[in-house]
Structures are given as structure tokens and as C-alpha cells.
Amino acid sequence: MQSVPISIAVLDGAHLAGASGAGLLASVSETPSLTIREEAQGSATSIAIRGVSATSALFSGSSPIGFYLDSLPFGLVRSAVVPDANPYDLDRVEVLRGPQGTLYGAGSLNGVVRVLTKEPDLNQVDFKGRVSGSNTEDGGANYRSDGAINFPLIDGKLAARLVAGYQHDSGWIDSPHRTDVNYGDVSNFRLKVKGQPTADLSIGFSAWRSRAHEGAPSISGDQFRKSYDDREPSDTGFDTYNMVIHYSLPGATVSSSTSYLKYTNRSLLSLAPFGPGLPYFDTDLVGKNVSEELLINSTAASAWRWLVGGLYRSAEEHLIEFYADNDATDNSASNAVFGQLTRSLLQDRLQLSAGLRYFEDTVSNQDNPGAINTTPPFYKKSNTFHRLSPETTITLLPAPDSTIYASYGEGFRSGFSQLSNVERILPRFPPAGPDKLANYELGTKNTFLNGRLAVDAAVYYIGWKDTQQIIFVFASNGITRYPAGVNVGKVDGVGVDFALKARPLPGLQIGIGYHWNNLAFRTPAAYNGQILFAKDFRPTGSAEETIGGSVLYSFKMKNGWVGHAEASANYTSALSDISLVNGVPDVQSGQPICLARAALGLETLEHLTVTAFVDNLTNTHHYPSRFLATDDWTTRLRPRTVGLEVAYHLR
């Protein structure tokens, strides 16, 4: 990765699966410039990179950050939700900062997160497992178990890898007559099969099933108490299937990735904080995505390197909002062609690269005949969006351990059609069009002291045009509201990424990461004469500053056992808030968050590891966001959690 001309963070799978009660998203959020935002409705989570985020995780436009499970794109039509997948048995997670429009397309306006699981080993049997128990202050007992087994079916030709896990988290939030209402249960199952019939041909198949149930979202007033007893359960899950075929030709490889995704989110959210007799936010969301990508990549030893590819995706998002009398389906049929060409000069010390991607997307929204929509003609609105996205990079490699690059790239996000209820209230309301982001970047990566010190740094400028935002259209009762997408203003700003990794002594590793940006609307962003975002207001979910640090020390004992001591801390400045029409706040700004954790482990010669850990070491009670200006809808972090894990690995 040291020579790749992209600002990229790579998180090792073994570290992500380290002893902790945290899920994948909490672990990935340790990466500076990446922030996580969990919302009250459906406990849905969205991500931001370098301050660029969706307005909301649900029903407010697709994500501006691409998210991949192996080679499967996890993306919906109208929602930006990402899964909190099980971090066990991962190979690595890559966080690519900045637009990746050429290779990853419409879902990568300002970055991509790739979750890469371990591949089956064709030659050796392997097994590993772990169990852990912990206790959360103000809550109760938590427990989890995970296991992975690898077994060759035909030596050197065919193998399978099976991963399964279950986790129970106690709640810590109480209502007037119930305790620990926000408990959660998560189960995961993953199967990967890999075949290598010839040296030139490999075929892989994977299936991933995840189910999560929460008794209530992690929102409450102070002292972790709600003012009402209404039940607010949520059930979320995803099923993915992916087939990848690689074939080597003379001078090139051909790759095909075929994938299917189904995501479900069924949730209740009480409106009791706003008055008696109000309806629940009662929603049922089912999203499906079928995609096929074909890629041809040059492999011949030459001063020229190239790749060409094409993508087709068909997506559907069915949403029922019982409280809003809305039963509708969004559909998207998109295709793209792309290519990249690189020329090496000066004995490979200078590389010039250029890429281009053309994307077209036809999206529609239509009412579904049924209990809610009973009178034809039923609403249907269709729109087609397209975009041509270029990128170019100049890379200088003055030494084997030094890289300097300058790049320009564009990212884009497709638009979406309005809900029928919006157009019934405001006829001829235009669709939310695509937004576009341009990124100018200068970066360097350097390794010193025979690999014991690595320093990465980048400075960039972002120009984000036609920014997608959400306003709310109210029904005649003055209570029911419908999200409507609009394109408003321009967001721009400069930013800095910095990362340092050091091994000053044998067994000692130190990591430091820092990110800062001043992303903001430079002029007031208005729609229909009403100010949505004032001048210098940061875009939704945007953090100005993130800082991370970690220390890991490994030491050998006289009996051959190995000890591990680890500590880390991560700071995120307050996330920006959302505004409604007329400036009425929908989300009040949260508080700065600093989360620390520590772990102490012992690894025996019998392949057994015992680890004691503490999450949220300082027991901070700061909150990241507050919804609709009410204490009851304030997002709360899990308090200090202390636990013990026992793990075994055959190899």
C-alpha cells in the first residue's frame, strides 16, 4: 500500500477481531477521517469520510460512501444505511479516502470502505474459536461466541470456510417500568467456497447471513432514562450471495463478480416525547440489489498498464410507513463503463495515470396497490441521471520507500424520485438530482529506519456541488411529515490527513492518526427562498477533527508464553446538525466524543489466548447527537464495559 497513490488506511483483521464487545463499525471508526452516526429510527447507521455524509441513514438518498463486503456492493436506492457486520475472521478492512468514481462508481462520492473476509485455504485444515463475557455499567451481562473452520474438500483444488457467531448485549437504558430496554442479539453465518480447477482459473462463492434484534434504540434522557414505557423494537438483517470468477489470459486477467443483496429493517419508534396519542414511526423496509461487474486488467510486463470494465445493477427498495400512509417502491436500473490507463516513465519512478467512467441510472418511485393505496391511478414517477467522471494522478517514486502523488478526481451520487405524498402536497416537485464532488489532493508516503517508521500525509481541497439534502413536507394535520430530496448550494473546504506508525523497540508498536477539515457552505443554501443552511454551516454529520492513537506491546516470557498489552483512544469533534425549512433544528449538534479502551492478554504454547479488556475506559457519557431537540431522542454510548475473552487457534 505504500506505493499506491491514494490516501488509504488498512486495518488488519486480527486487530479488528481483538478482544472487545464492539462490532465492525465501532472498530473501523478508529480510523481518522471516518465517522459513524447511529440514528433513532431503525437503529440505522451511516458513515462519513472527510466530513461528507448522507443527511440520514434511511429514506434520504443513497450513501456518498461506497461500502463493499468482499466484491459485493452494499447499497440501496433511497437509503444510506450500512451493516454492522461481524468483525470475526476478516483478512482486512480498507478505507479509501476521497472520490473513487472511476473504479467504484456512483456509490463512492468521497470514499470507499472495503470489508475483505479470509479466503478458504486449499491445502490445510484450520479451526479457531472464541468465547467472551463482559459486564456493562448501568446495564448487565454480555456474552458472545464465534468460530471459524477451514477444510479442503479436494487438496489444492477445492476448499470451504465456515464462520458463525452469536452475540448478546445487555441494555443500559431504563424506562419508567422496565430496565435495560435497549438490549440486543446478533447472529451471523458466513460460508465461502473456493475452487482452483487449473492454475489459470479460480471460482469463488460466498453467502453471508446476519440478523439483529434490538429491544429499543440506544436513545434516552440524562441518567440513561426514558420518560415513557412504549416498546420500540427493531429487527434488521441482510443476506448476500456472491460469485467471483478469475481467469488468466496471456497479458491480462478477466474477472467477473455477480452478487445479490437483500436488506431488511422493521422498526417502531414512539412519538410519546412530543405528546399523547401520536402515532408510532412504524416502518418496514426491504431493499434488494443484483449486480454484475466485468473487469479486464493488464498483467504483462510493460511501461503501459490498463484496465477496462463494465457494471450493471438492478436495485429495489420497498418501504411501508404505516404512520404516514405510505407504501411505495423505488427502483433503479443502472449501468456503467470505465477504464484506466497508466504510463511508467524514468525506470518506473514516474507514473502518469488517467481514468474515466460513464454512468447512467434510471430511477423510479411508484405506489403499491394494497391496503394503503386503494384508488387508481397509482402514482409513478421516473427519472434518468447520467454522469461522466474523470480522474488523473501523477506519482513520483524517488526511492523504494518513498511515494509522492498529486491527483484530481471526481465522485458522484445518483438522484432519486420524490415520494407520492410529497407531490400530492406540492405538485410538480422536482426529483433530487445527482450531486458531484471534485477533489484536488497532494500526498506523500514514506518509510524510514528500515521499516520501523512509516509516515503518510495528504492535503486536499473538496468542492461539492448540488449537495443533496432533505427538507420535510408536512401533511395538513401538521404532524405527519415526508422527506423530500433537494439540491442546494455548494460545500467546499480544505483538509489534512496524517498517519504515523512506529516500532521504536522490539515488540512495541505505536500508531497516531489525525484528520482536520473546514468543510462548509460558503454561501447560504436556500430552497424556494427559505434558508436551509446558513453561511459557514457544516454539512450534516460532518466532524471537523478526528484524532486516534494506539500503543501495543508484546513480550515473551521465560516459559515461552507471549504477553500483549494494548491501549487506544479516539477523539471525534462534535458532529454538525440538520436543519429543517425555516431553520427549525431536526438534530442538535452532539458533543465531542473521546473513547478509550485497554486490553491485557496472554498467549500460551497450546494455542490458547486469554484477554481481559475494558471498552469506554473513562466511562464517558457524552452524546454524539440529539434528534428533534428532545432529551428522549439523544443517542447514548455504551458505558464502561469490562470483560474476559478466551480464544483458541489450531494453527
DSSP assignment of 471-523 equals: EEEEPTTSS-EEEEEEEEEEEEEEEEEEEEEE--STTEEEEEEEEEE--EESS
Q: Which of 346, 356, 372 is nearest to 409 (CA)?
A: 356
Rounded to an integer, what distance in angstroms lies between the CA atom of residue 95 and that of residue 49?
A: 9
The C-alpha cell at 145 is: 461466541
Cβ(42)–Cβ(285) under 8 Å? yes
pLDDT digits (tens, 9 = 90+) for 125-140: 999 999 999 999 999 9
What is the biggest distance separating any 2 CA atoms in the chain, rounded to whole angstroms?
A: 80
Is pLDDT at 582 greater than 50 in this prediction?
no
pTM of the model: 0.93
Distances (CA, A) of 22 to 27, 40, 132, 298, 604: 7, 19, 12, 40, 25
- What was the pLDDT predicted at 583? 41
pLDDT at 577: 65
pLDDT confidence tier of residue 42, bands split at 50, 70 and 90: confident
Distance separating alpha carbons of residues 569 and 513, to the nearest angstrom: 11
Rg (CA), the chain: 25
pLDDT at residue 174 tops 90: yes
- Please state, in angstroms and rounded to a whole number, the distance separating the CA atoms of residues 524 and 316: 35
Indicate if the pLDDT at residue 39 is higher than 60: yes
Q: Residue 265: phi, psi to the nearest 5?
A: -145, 110
Query: Which position has the higher pLDDT, 152 or 377?
Result: 152
Nearest 5°: the CA angle 56, 438, 92 is 65
SS3 string, 556-569, reads ECCCCCEEEEEEEE
Residues 209 and 164 sit within 8 Å (Cβ to Cβ): no
User: Which of 204-208, 290-294, 347-351 has the least mean pLDDT?
Assistant: 347-351
Q: DSSP states of 95-141 as a string?
A: EEES--HHHHGGG-SSEEEEEEEPPPPSS--EEEEEEEEEEETTS-E
Q: In the prediction, which pLDDT does 372 show? A: 84
pLDDT number for residue 374: 76
What gap in Å lies between CA 57 and CA 540, rounded to an integer? 11
Looking at every residue in the chain, the average pLDDT score rounds to 89
Over residues 392-400, mean pLDDT: 93
Nearest to 178 by CA among 106, 128, 227, 129: 227
Q: Is domain 8-649 given the CATH code 3.40.50.10090 in the classification?
A: no
What is the C-alpha separation between 524 and 599, in angstroms, rounded? 47
pLDDT-based confidence at residue 578 (cuts at 50, 70, 90): low
pLDDT over 80 at 551, yes or no: yes
For residue 377, is the peptide bond before it cis, meaning its omega torsion is within 30 degrees of 0? yes
Residues 355-375, mean pLDDT to the nearest whole number: 89
Please count the helices (runs of H) and the strands (runs of E) in the chain. Answer: 4, 37
Amino acid in position 627: F
- The identity of residue 540, as a single letter, is T
Distance in angstroms (rounded) separating the CA atoms of residues 290 and 118: 23
pLDDT of residue 119: 95
Q: Around Cβ 400, how many Cβ atoms within 10 Å?
A: 9
**Which has more confidence, 370 or 610?**
610
Q: What residues are paired with 576 via a beta bridge?
A: none
Angle at 642 between CA 640 and CA 644, to 5 degrees: 160
* All cell numbers assigned to 5: 497513490
pLDDT at 581: 44
- Least Cα distance to 513 among 526, 531, 501 occurs for 501
* Cell numbers standing for residue 500: 504515523
Distance (Å, rounded) from C-alpha 320 to C-alpha 421? 13
Give residue-wise pLDDT tens across range 231-243. Answer: 999 999 999 999 9
Residue 647 pLDDT level (bands cut at 50, 70, 90): very high
- Poorest-pLDDT segment among 336-350, 441-455, 496-510, 567-581: 567-581
What confidence score (pLDDT) does residue 31 get?
84
Helix (H, G, I), strand (E, B) or coil at 466: strand
Structural contact between residues 497 and 516, judged by C-beta atoms closer than 8 angstroms: no
- Nearest Cα neighbor of 342 from 334, 350, 331 is 350
User: Half-sphere exposure (CA, 13 Å, Cβ side) for 250?
Assistant: 0
**Closest listed residue to residue 233, CA positions, set 43, 83, 36, 22:** 43
pLDDT for res 479: 65
Query: CB under 8 Å to 395, separation ≥6 — which residues?
Result: 3, 5, 350, 351, 352, 353, 403, 404, 405
Q: Three cell numbers at 300?
A: 504483462
Number of neighbouring beta carbons within 10 Å of residue 348: 11
- pLDDT given for residue 272 in this prediction: 86
Which pLDDT band holds residue 340 (cuts at 50, 70, 90)? very high
400-404 contacts at long range (C-beta below 8 A, 24 or more positions apart): 401/2, 401/446, 401/447, 401/448, 401/451, 402/444, 402/445, 402/446, 402/447, 403/2, 403/3, 403/4, 403/5, 403/444, 403/445, 403/446, 404/443, 404/444
Q: What is the pLDDT of residue 23?
A: 74
Give me the torsion for CA of 302, 304, 305, 309, rounded to 10°: -130
Reported as a pLDDT band with limits 50, 70 and 90, residue 20 is low
What is the C-alpha separation between 145 and 163, in angstroms, rounded? 11
The pLDDT-based confidence of 526 (bands split at 50, 70, 90) is confident
Average pLDDT over residues 75-98: 90
Q: Are 360 and 385 in contact (CB under 8 A)?
A: yes
Q: Which residue has the cell 510493460?
A: 302
269, containing H or E segment: strand 252-269
Q: What is the pLDDT of residue 585?
A: 44
